[in-house]
Structure 1
């Protein structure tokens, strides 16, 4: 993968996040790409909390980002403190420990393809107006097409992804493949085992995957 292409993709992520911040009454934004050689990759987080909310949902495998991806519709939580969070109880508890007062998640879709997801949070509680939602929908449509074009460009490149870059989430998928080989289950089961181990050990999914890739952690020894 050419370094120029990676830089362009990262710049696209920053531009997309900035467009939401400029147009909507929100505090922070995060953008993740789905599919292609990128698999599931965070391209932009405008601040620390945006990155934490995105990473936490990925680690736990639950949260509004996943609901938005599955339903292909926005998930709007205008009152974080009043919402039940019954569909994502573990993430909900963690969310309540942050300063986020509202959370808005928009899936990026093109036709039948899930391209990515944008997560927005605000320090101020309250819903987005109808005009805000119209703007968000337009921004999401444009972001989806831009991201798709960039992903297709990356697909044509052959340089490997450098470890430690914004695209290092590929290592999570490599670790999932190793666990799959160790356990003989499905890819979904393997990723669930990684998430469960990370949660139980108080670690992150990324650190758990690093242990698998370095062969310090072997799930074949934990079954049977």
Structure 2
């Protein structure tokens, strides 16, 4: 029988070892005050670092301070609910964490109605121009004035738009805005194959990063018609 390793007085994670309790178990106290008998091997291997109470507390606190859409998470309220502040109107509301993580709730109901009406007033949501704007937002590197308001994007770019062209930045290192864009029918870089999807043109590697897949995965989707509105 192997010699017993005395763990008394040692600390493992948040557990303080108080005394041997027999049968390979040790009486321990968590930093929060919780008392529990724990297997010595589990303590030494790091499998038991804290009590369930502290584990749940750590899981709840990991969302605090994060931003989901226009919600800023202030604090944990109750099971599954967090107090959040809408960054548009600065009002506070309780929001289910599942709705935050899935993107079902991005702002308060008042702001959702307000900004949804503002977008719908242009009556262009079914046009190719609107699809170009929507996909450009997903790409990310555009100025706030365009990202937050389709009308601003349309007003600044419609004058030189021609059906079949795609929008690209003049300087790819800078965000796209009224001074840094052009409509193009050519390739972005000579020697590289570029693909236009919903009016946005990027290289295959850039599209792969956009979809979060490998270059081979994007080629497979392209070959099997799994990407909509493609122009090679």
Higher helix share: 1
What band does the TM-score fall into relative to the shorter chain?
Answer: under 0.3
Specify the structure having the higher radius of gyration (Cα): 2
Name the structure, 1 or 2, with higher relative contact order (CA <8 Å, separation 6+).
1
TM-score of the aligned structures, taking structure 1 as reference length: 0.22
User: Normalising to structure 2: TM-score of the pair?
Assistant: 0.22
Instruction: Decide which structure has greater strand share.
Output: 2
